Chain A
Amino acid sequence: MTEPAFLVLAAVTVIGSIMALEARDLVYGAVALGVAFLGMAGLFILLDASYVAAFQIAVYIGAVVILILFTVMLVGPAKGEAQMELKRVSLLAAVLVATLIGMGGALASAAAFPGSDVCGGSCDIQSLSRTLLIDYGTQLELLSLVLAAAVIGALTLAKAEKKT
């Protein structure tokens, strides 16, 4: 569990996330988010899920971060942005942290998730595609509806822009 590669990647992810929140310039924040995603991709590799890591790089860094960057550049520097109310935020954060610690503890005891290691030593790309398309086919269709909704949302934005 505490192999050095894991420690380095976890540190990259956590520091990247903190910098993404704390960066004074939003562009730096977006890039720090990209670094955090990169650390997460590394964690996926350590979990022997390298296709998910490639997915993480292509979709999250290649597409999501660039969308955030573009939007930040479009909106420009935020001057005098109202601070979020600290108390509520810290309460929410405390709840989240507690949940995360609880989940971490549950993960640590392998008994909590007896079926988590489904494919044993043969976690290859073929079994991934079989699981994704046959075992989780219904979920895939639901996902396609979510993605279609995103496209339609983008089109609605575009049309609304034209009218004004």
Chain B
Amino acid sequence: MAEPFPDPIQMTLAIMTSPLFLKIAIFPGLTSIAIIAALLTWLDRKITARVQLRIGPQYVSPLGGILQSFADLIKLAFKELPLPEKADKFFFVMAPVFGMVLAGGLMGLIPFSHETLISNLEIGLPVFLAFVTLSPTLVLLAGWSANSKYPFIGGLRSLFQQTAYEIPLWLSAIGVVMLAGTFNLEKIVLAQSKGWFIVPQALGALLFLITSVAEQERIPFDLPEAEPEVIMGWQAEYTGFFFLAAQGAGFIKLYAFSALFATLYLGGYLGPGPLPPLFWSLLKTIGIVVAVILLRGTFGRVRIDQLLRAGWTILLGLALVNIVITYFIVVGFPTI
């Protein structure tokens, strides 16, 4: 009780400069997520354009139009926000907002380096995957609330697609847990100091990459927002900031899933020499991002029945085979 009442200005300053607040607000938290998502949008457009023998954005700065997505961001923020009259306004607004919150929340679990890890959860991997399972609910609500045909079809497609690919996603990640013996993402990174898990987990890594692309709804699995079929699907009625939130959440997910792939299979922030761990983890993440973007430029879109059948038979079967293989690796080579 003898404690003097803290000065509010000093207290605010103390909070603002605490390492946790800096991590939450700047890196790997909010500010960096917004900037990186905008840069990934640019990278996506630029690489896809190169693959299709186009140039892509080029005017908004000397450096290959790198500021194009920031210009788009400002443009979208200043747009009028008309809501469809028959829409369920509450869910219509809340679904993309919470979709973005959820996608951003994933970044709180990724160990980019020991110093910039926001939350060192003992059960980091299941929590990441549990956050991912929430996203089809929001997409379904977004599609339902618009009370319009294309969004509703898109929302239902997304529901079936994401639920079909979640099980293989979880099962392919189990291989890493079996090798590392922990759910903690940083301990999984440290367990790879003798060798990256992509070597014993080649099949698991491939499955994880495929299923995570499906969870991000990117080509070749972008049926819920396919433009020629369902006119952007569940995003059809969104304009301005809400459209930005829906699209942005997709790019934040691309960033988060790529970072998780680097963490699980490519040794995360481990890397040689004087270069800092942060450099290695970001380099690996960007590498995976580029690979996923190249998929978009290369493949066509699958049909929904092909998609669901492949998810529930081939991918699920291979994920189970991967668990059996990993079991024999763990039992056969106890030193790994």
Contacts and interface: CB of A to CB of B under 8 A. Distances in A.
A and B touch in the complex (CB under 8 A): yes
Interface of A: 27, 31, 34, 50-51, 54-55, 57-58, 61-63, 65-66, 69-70, 73, 124-125
B72 interface: no
Contact of A125 (B123, B140, B156): B123
B122 interface: yes
Interface residues of B, number: 22
Given A125-B122, A125-B123, A125-B183, A54 B137 contact: no
Interface in B104-137: 121-123, 126-127, 129-131, 133-134, 136-137
**Which 4 A-B residue pairings sit nearest by Cβ, starting from the closest?**
A62-B133, A58-B130, A57-B130, A54-B126
B159 A70 contact: yes
A58 B137 contact: no
Question: Which of A27, A34, A124 has the most CB atoms of chain B within a 10 A radius of its CB?
Answer: A27
A55 B183 CA distance: 14
Interface SS majority for chain A:
helix
A61 B137 CA distance: 8
16 contacts: A27-B141, A50-B123, A50-B127, A51-B183, A54-B126, A54-B127, A58-B126, A58-B133, A61-B133, A61-B134, A61-B137, A62-B133, A62-B134, A66-B163, A70-B159, A124-B122
Contacts of B144: 27, 69, 73
A72 to B, nearest CB: 9
B138 to A, nearest CB: 10
Contacts of B141: 27, 31, 69
A31 B145 CA distance: 13
B137 A65 contact: yes
Given A50-B127, A57-B131, 11 more contacts: A50-B121, A50-B122, A51-B183, A54-B126, A57-B127, A61-B133, A63-B133, A66-B136, A69-B140, A69-B141, A70-B156
Interface of B: 88, 91, 121-123, 126-127, 129-131, 133-134, 136-137, 140-141, 144, 156, 159, 163, 166, 183
A133 to B, nearest CB: 14
A31 B129 CA distance: 20
A29 B133 CA distance: 20
Contacts, number: 59
Contacts of B136: 62, 66
B137 A69 contact: yes
Contacts of B156: 70
A69 B140 CA distance: 9
A58 B129 contact: yes
Contacts of B122: 50, 124-125
A160 B156 CA distance: 22
A51 B140 contact: no
Contacts of A125: 122-123, 183
A62 B137 contact: yes
Question: Which of A31, A54, A57, A124 has the most CB atoms of chain B within a 10 A radius of its CB?
Answer: A54
Nearest to A50: B123
Contacts of B129: 58
Nearest to A61: B134
B146 to A, nearest CB: 13
B120 to A, nearest CB: 12
Contacts of B121: 50
A76 to B, nearest CB: 11
A51 B123 contact: yes
A65 B130 CA distance: 13
Contacts of A70: 140, 156, 159
Nearest to B183: A125
Contacts of A54: 123, 126-127, 130
A27 B140 CA distance: 11
B298 to A, nearest CB: 31
Nearest to B131: A57
A51 B183 CA distance: 10
Contacts of B183: 51, 125
A66 B161 CA distance: 13
B167 to A, nearest CB: 10
Contacts of A55: 126, 130
